[in-house]
């Protein structure tokens, strides 16, 4: 196992994420405890010492299951992380109640790492609202030794992260972001890494394989990668890409079975970052993925002044692309973003006048795209 230094601690470069644990009868809330115990025992034996859960994973049962599995191992041999669930605004005034309950659920006396969960467009105002008392409470817990290291996770865009860091950056010790070979440019993970660097914050990676979706590449692309690295799977390529980013400390993978765990441990037994030729091959895979029906908006903003509805067209198109790449409604990011907009600024507020398309240098069918986006969001 590779290890990374963090404030004198030796953290395993691969962390076990507990958001996709094995379940019984396909019910996401019914975790197969025996299987989890087995996976955690194997992970410990192989040197993984970082375990990540959260209040909401598996309908609230992930913290319990992971806590039970870890209870079978000495407390000083693992690091446990969980998170304050402010993605649900009704939790904002419950930081004490939730924190105490998390200690009970996991059976722990302290958390090694505690994160403010999913800072994004829909909750930033409330996370920054001092009336909730979240930060003073968490700092108190840190002082009392019940939180050893404080950080945050973010799905929000860079301006949201900037607002959070301006307010709380001095208290943060690390940040968890979605980073993988697709999102390096697509969700501007590179820009986020650069921003965190300014605050001297190491990066924790989530969704390194986008829930397995990045492994679903065309046969042609797979053959090209295989030619360059005959012994590595597409999943391993995704991790090798991350290994080449020096700011990354822990990479979390939500593993669902022993086979995935074994393969990932094997990958993290050595650092085999990609060379230039390999990065170019991976970029070709990204180009192919982005070619599947996304629109080539460059965010030039030429169109926005022409919209009688005052829509933020480039941002809506960015969210549309996210939906296309992810499939279906596009996961939670597009729905979450659109949900934060007033009704008259959403994709279905487009009246189809076409003034925007007439000035778009990329010749994007903007009204058609927004109509398609509205239909996708409507399910």
The answer to whether residue 366 forms part of the interface with ligand SF4 (CB under 6 A) is yes
Select from 302, 326, 345, 348 the one that contacts ligand SF4 (CB under 6 A): 302
The answer to whether residue 350 forms part of the interface with ligand SF4 (CB under 6 A) is yes
Rounded to the nearest 10 degrees, how much is the dihedral formed by the CA atoms of 179, 330, 27, 99?
50
The values of phi and psi at residue 6, to 5°, are -140, 105
The answer to whether residue 301 forms part of the interface with ligand SF4 (CB under 6 A) is yes
For residues 243 and 122, give the distance between their C-alpha atoms in angstroms, rounded to a whole number: 31
132/315 with CB nearer ligand SF4:
315
The values of phi and psi at residue 292, to 5°, are -80, 65
The answer to whether residue 313 forms part of the interface with ligand SF4 (CB under 6 A) is yes
In this structure, which long-range contacts are made by residues 363-367, counting pairs with CB atoms below 8 Å and at least 24 apart in sequence? 364/295, 364/296, 364/297, 364/317, 366/303, 366/313, 366/317
Q: Do the Cβ atoms of 209 and 13 come closer than 8 Å?
A: no
- Which pair of structure tokens corresponds to residue 332? 């939670």
- Which pair of structure tokens corresponds to residue 130? 């001092």
E-only strand ranges, 199-295: 203-206, 248-254
203/295 with CB nearer ligand SF4:
295
The answer to whether residue 38 forms part of the interface with ligand SF4 (CB under 6 A) is no
41/299 with CB nearer ligand SF4:
299
The answer to whether residue 305 forms part of the interface with ligand SF4 (CB under 6 A) is no
For residues 49 and 342, give the distance between their C-alpha atoms in angstroms, rounded to a whole number: 44
Interacting residues with ligand SF4 between 316 and 345 (CB under 6 A)? 317
The answer to whether residue 236 forms part of the interface with ligand SF4 (CB under 6 A) is no
Q: Among 107, 97, 96, which residue's Cα sits nearest to residue 66?
A: 107
223/351 with CB nearer ligand SF4:
351
Q: Which stretch binds ligand SF4 (CB under 6 A): 75-83, 110-118, 162-170, 302-310?
A: 302-310
The answer to whether residue 66 forms part of the interface with ligand SF4 (CB under 6 A) is no
Q: Which stretch binds ligand SF4 (CB under 6 A): 51-59, 267-275, 278-286, 353-361?
A: 353-361
Q: How far is the CB of 325 from ligand SF4 (least distance, A)?
A: 17
Select from 107, 136, 159, 352 the one that contacts ligand SF4 (CB under 6 A): 352
Q: Do the Cβ atoms of 91 and 128 come closer than 8 Å?
A: no
Interface residues with ligand SF4 (CB under 6 A)? Answer: 297-303, 306-309, 311, 313-314, 317, 350-356, 360, 362, 364, 366-367, 370
């Amino acid at each position: 196992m590779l290890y990374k230094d963090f404030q004198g601690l030796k953290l395993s470069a691969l962390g076990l994420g507990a958001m996709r644990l094995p379940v019984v009868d396909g019910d996401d809330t019914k975790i197969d405890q025996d299987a989890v115990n087995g996976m955690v025992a194997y992970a410990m034996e192989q040197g993984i010492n970082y375990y990540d859960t959260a209040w909401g994973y598996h309908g609230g049962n992930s913290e319990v299951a992971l806590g039970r599995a870890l209870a079978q191992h000495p407390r000083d041999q693992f690091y446990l992380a969980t998170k304050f669930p402010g993605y649900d605004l009704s939790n904002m005034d419950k930081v004490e109640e939730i924190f105490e309950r998390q200690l009970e659920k996991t059976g722990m006396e302290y958390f090694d790492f505690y994160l403010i969960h999913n800072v994004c467009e829909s909750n930033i105002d409330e996370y920054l609202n001092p009336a909730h008392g979240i930060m003073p409470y968490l700092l108190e817990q840190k002082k009392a030794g019940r939180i050893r290291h404080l950080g945050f996770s973010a799905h929000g865009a860079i301006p949201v992260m900037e607002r959070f860091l301006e307010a709380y950056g001095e208290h943060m010790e690390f940040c968890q972001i979605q980073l993988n070979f697709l999102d390096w440019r697509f969700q501007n993970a590179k820009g986020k890494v650069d921003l965190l660097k300014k605050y001297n914050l190491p990066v924790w990676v989530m969704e390194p394989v986008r829930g397995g979706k990045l492994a679903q590449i065309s046969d042609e692309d797979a053959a090209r990668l295989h030619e360059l690295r005959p012994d590595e799977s597409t999943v391993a390529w995704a991790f090798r890409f991350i290994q080449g980013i020096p700011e990354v400390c822990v990479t979390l993978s939500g593993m669902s079975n022993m086979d995935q765990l074994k393969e990932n441990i094997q990958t993290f037994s050595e650092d085999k970052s990609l060379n230039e030729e390999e990065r170019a091959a991976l970029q070709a895979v990204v180009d192919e993925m982005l070619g599947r029906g996304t629109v080539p908006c460059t965010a030039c903003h030429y169109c926005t002044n022409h919209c009688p509805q005052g829509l933020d067209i480039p941002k809506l198109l960015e969210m549309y692309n996210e939906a296309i790449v992810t499939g279906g409604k596009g996961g939670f990011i597009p729905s979450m973003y659109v949900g934060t907009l007033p009704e008259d600024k959403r994709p279905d507020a487009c009246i189809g006048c076409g003034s925007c398309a007439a000035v778009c240098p990329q010749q994007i069918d903007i009204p058609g795209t927004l109509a398609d986006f509205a239909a996708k969001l409507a399910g």
